[in-house]
Amino acid sequence: MEGVDHLADERNKAEFNVDDMKIIWAGSRHAFDVSNRISRFVATDPVFEKSNRALMTRKELFKNTLKKSVYAWKIIKELRLSDEEGIKLRIFMDQPGFLDLHWGMFVPAIKGQGTEEQQQKWLSLANKMQIIGCYAQTELGHGSNVQGLETTATFDPKTDQFIMHSPTQTSSKWWPGGLGKVSTHAVVYARLITNGKDHGVHGFIVQLRSLDDHSPLPGITIGDIGMKFGNGAYNSMDNGFLMFNQFRIPRDQMLMRLSKVTREGKYIASDVPRQLVYGTMVSVRQTIVSKASDALARAVCIATRYSAVRRQFGSENGGIETQVIDYKTQQNRLFPLLASAYAFRFVGEWLKWLYTDVTQRLEASDFVTLPEAHACTAGLKSMTTSATSDGIEECRKLCGGHGYLWCSGLPELFAVYVPACTYEGDNVVLQLQVARFLMKTVSQLGSGKAPAGTTAYMGRAQHLLQCRSGVQKAEDWLNPSMVLEAFESRALRMAITCAKNLSKFENQEQGFSELLADLVEAAIAHCQLIVVSKFIAKIEGEIEGKGVKKQLKNLCYIYALHLLHKHLGDFLSTNSVTPEQASLASHQLRSLYSQVRPNAVALVDAFDYTDHYLGSVLGRYDGNVYPKLFEEALKDPLNDSVVPDGYHEYIRPLIKQNFPSAKL
């Protein structure tokens, strides 16, 4: 029934004020206002219509993305939107495209690695979008191993230029978003060579296409790398390839904030860590963590609303059947994902703070917290994107058969989201960076240098290696210090075991290679501890709104205890909990599920997502699922005619068995 709220009963059950929770989710009243206003604006503007994109050809989809992106830019200019509003506009537009790489990586790379002069010149063009840029780092042969890149930038002192060259097929740039068809410029990462000496990978601003007719400049071969996973989905983006044939650029287009090449060809390395050349990746990894909560919340919102609408079994005497959300199995799969969405939100807020702090320190030449910022951004990017991808797929299964329909919104969400496990650093490679950081921290224990920040718990190694969990009854698992201690002792004991095993090898690098799998597990345990501890810090802080804190507490403990349950092997093998304590945790978890159940629909309403953004018949706000599924089905081009194309060619001859005889 149109206009009826089929989920009204669910909403009436809520024990907290949804509007207050909306503010907590958004981060502030101001952030909520911006998000709410921009999402409604996008939802009502026909240019941002997206329901038809799965049926578009690649070319149509690409052109449609250009149209939306340029229209979004026009709105930003005409309405004088702030950066915050512009970013929200891009998010709710919900279509990957060149804007992401231009604003998300090209501009930040120039800001982070360009001199004042270079920033003035290039940012004034880029900020007005008079040039469009991308981030060209990955090559056909190397993505993870940045030091293995092959593209060269050789200084020619005669002409005061760099010669950009792709010496092999594997050195062609491969993957950069926006490169294939749109970008006029790129920040290209290449090996700097002066006087025959290789100084490693550096960034260069390179013009790729004519600003008059968009044709590639002589010496440049460029194109799109082809279709990617899923219909619609990430195919709106022109990920590209690029080869240089002795292509020349002026010397002042090397990004020279971190190191320089003089007119004479002398290389001057500054005294800042060389890893700052990776700074743009660190900044995007931080952004990706906040975006993980958005994507997971979207899937969870769809699965929760649909689970409240969907009924199966349990009818007595022809009465009403059971809502599938009432099955404990459904709750055990769904509610930890709901809790994870909130957990990633809060750890994302904290990571933003950490990133801002390290940026300010770097500006004052204080590099002390750089390793921790790298480890946190890498590890949390890895952990949250893996959990979110798995979570979206789980939500699809939670919606049964209908979850597999395109109009559920879940297949496309998965297809767009899942490459986040790979881009901006493969998730395993990133956890290995965390593992290196942990091994270094462990090796310094007892040296007088106290571990700080997220590894401060390692400073209490003596206690954490010996302690036994004090949990005696199920409610003890609602005690923040008991939960934290279990996670800390598990993480520390796993790290120390790895360090001990490493020390058995004469060659540390060989040992590291042998123990890769254990090291990744230890890194994940450390990252999960960070998320749990930041959630606990959130619920221990001031939280306004009727009943809001209680709900967040429930979600926090669901998050922690479901992790304990999922990684029970780790907790038991490190003696961080006993089997009896683990079973008390399961008991507590079931009780928490019952407490969340009446609030579940309201907890996803707090995300404040429009039906346009959700793009899902199953997740509609009004829960009017079945008639809308029919409407969607009838829109399919196969239903344009009652008798399908091909009937006379194939079906009729088959039925009548009158096709021409086959010849061998």
Q: List, as residue ranges, the binding site.
A: 138, 177
Q: Do residues 373 and 354 touch, judged by C-beta distance below 8 A?
A: yes
Question: Which tokens in the block code for residue 492?
Answer: 């520390």
Pick from 177, 188, 169, 183: nearest CA to 228: 177
Q: Which is nearer to ligand FAD, 378 or 617 (CB)?
A: 378
Q: How far is CA 187 from CA 403, 420, 434, in A?
A: 40, 21, 27
Q: Do residues 198 and 192 touch, judged by C-beta distance below 8 A?
A: yes
Q: Which does 428 bind (CB under 5 to 8 A by kind): ligand FAD, ligand LB5YH26S, none?
A: ligand FAD
Q: Which does 69 bind (CB under 5 to 8 A by kind): ligand LB5YH26S, ligand FAD, none?
A: none
Site residues for ligand LB5YH26S, 266-295, by CB under 6 A, read 275, 278, 281-282, 284, 287
Q: How far is the CB of 118 from ligand LB5YH26S (least distance, A)?
A: 20
Q: How far is the CB of 403 from ligand FAD (least distance, A)?
A: 23
- Give every CB contact of residue 68 below 8 A, 6+ residues apart in sequence: 47, 48, 93, 95, 97
Q: How far is the CB of 179 from ligand FAD (least distance, A)?
A: 7
Rg (CA), the chain: 27
Q: Which does 370 bind (CB under 5 to 8 A by kind): ligand LB5YH26S, ligand FAD, none?
A: ligand LB5YH26S
Q: Which is nearer to ligand FAD, 424 or 605 (CB)?
A: 424
Among 137, 183, 323, 588, binds ligand FAD (CB under 6 A): 137
Q: Which does 492 bind (CB under 5 to 8 A by kind): ligand LB5YH26S, ligand FAD, none?
A: none
Q: How far is the CB of 429 from ligand LB5YH26S (least distance, A)?
A: 5
Q: Do residues 231 and 406 touch, judged by C-beta distance below 8 A?
A: yes
**Binding letters toward ligand FAD, positions 409-448, x by CB under 6 A:** ----------x--xx-xx-xx--x----------------
- Give every CB contact of residue 651 below 8 A, 6+ residues apart in sequence: 644
If binding means CB under 6 A, how many residues of this protein chain bind ligand FAD?
22
Q: Is 15 noted as a catalytic residue in this protein?
A: no
Q: Is the dihedral of CA 27, 31, 36, 40 positive or negative?
A: negative
Pick from 504, 495, 500, 501: nearest CA to 522: 495
- Contact status: 149 vs ligand LB5YH26S (CB under 6 A): no
Question: Which tokens in the block code for residue 285?
Answer: 């990894």
Binding residue ranges for FAD: 138, 177
Q: Which is nearer to ligand FAD, 114 or 419 (CB)?
A: 419
Q: H or E element: which one contains 136?
A: strand 133-136
If binding means CB under 6 A, how many residues of this protein chain bind ligand LB5YH26S?
35
Question: Which tokens in the block code for residue 351?
Answer: 């990571």
373/375 Cα distance (integer angstroms): 6
37/199 Cα distance (integer angstroms): 49
Q: Which does 234 bind (CB under 5 to 8 A by kind): ligand FAD, ligand LB5YH26S, none?
A: ligand FAD
379/358 Cα distance (integer angstroms): 16
Among 26, 101, 413, 524, binds ligand FAD (CB under 6 A): 101
56/48 Cα distance (integer angstroms): 15
User: Which among 424, 485, 488, 521 is annotated as catalytic?
Assistant: 424
Q: Is 605 exposed, middle or buried (0-12, 13-18, 19+ CB in 10 A)?
A: buried
- Contact status: 183 vs ligand LB5YH26S (CB under 6 A): no
Q: Do residues 170 and 141 touch, judged by C-beta distance below 8 A?
A: yes
651/127 Cα distance (integer angstroms): 58
Among 119, 137, 236, 384, binds ligand LB5YH26S (CB under 6 A): 137
Q: Do residues 184 and 253 touch, judged by C-beta distance below 8 A?
A: no
Q: Which does 239 bind (CB under 5 to 8 A by kind): ligand FAD, ligand LB5YH26S, none?
A: ligand FAD
Q: Which does 516 bind (CB under 5 to 8 A by kind): ligand LB5YH26S, ligand FAD, none?
A: ligand FAD
87/570 Cα distance (integer angstroms): 40
Amino acid type, 506: E
Active site residues: 424
Q: Which residues of the shown chain bind ligand LB5YH26S in the complex (CB under 6 A)? A: 76, 83, 86-87, 90, 99-100, 103-104, 135, 137-138, 143-147, 177, 275, 278, 281-282, 284, 287, 370-371, 374, 423-425, 429, 433, 436-437, 440
Q: Which residues of the shown chain bind ligand FAD in the complex (CB under 6 A)? A: 101, 135-138, 142-144, 175-177, 234, 239, 419, 422-423, 425-426, 428-429, 432, 516
